[in-house]
Amino acid sequence: MVATIGKVTPQAEEIGKEHNVEFIHKGAPLVYIFDHWLVPEHRVLSPEEAKEVIDKYAGGNPELLPKILVTDPAVRILRAKPGDVIEIRRRVPPKEELIKKYGKKFGMQAYEILKMLTPAGEEVSYRIVIEAPEEYLY
């Protein structure tokens, strides 16, 4: 990544893309999002793992996987490219923790539902990286 003060010329952008260099305006916020407690763990799958996931969850068709834009901050930090598959792991708290936190707040019905339905552990989801349409680029 290169921080710039002014605009970057189209030629510099083209050369930057060829060499995997990203230009960021000096005034842009530079925050490492993975240090925040609300951001789940992300990682780029190897081609073999990605093929396995696509076969298992999308019947071999990568278009059927949920999408994540190449402009997403997590994707940019991981330097994932369109076509890469991202694994996202979220912690799911035990039901006792959820009941203690939300049970009284939402009443007895919510308490009973939480008691029955909430699994503990980890939730894993997968997203395929896609190119952002021009209107979404900033």
Q: Which domains does the chain have, with CATH numbers?
A: 1-30 (no CATH), 31-136 (3.90.940.20)
Residue type present at position 93: P
Average pLDDT of the residues in 22-28: 67
Would you place residue 31 in the very low, low, confident or very high pLDDT band (cuts 50, 70, 90)? confident
User: Mean pLDDT across the chain, nearest whole number?
Assistant: 80
Tell me how far apart the alpha carbons of residues 120 and 36 are, in angstroms, rounded to a whole number. Answer: 21
Give residue 135's pLDDT. 54
Kindly report the number of other CB atoms within 10 A of residue 102's CB atom. Answer: 13
Quote the pLDDT of residue 134: 60
Q: With pLDDT > 90 as the criterion, what percentage of the chain qualifies? A: 36
- How does pLDDT run across 40-72, given as a tens digit for each residue? 999 999 999 999 999 999 999 999 999 999 888
pLDDT band at 106; cut points 50, 70, 90: low
Rounded distance between C-alpha atoms, residue 119 and residue 125, angstroms: 16
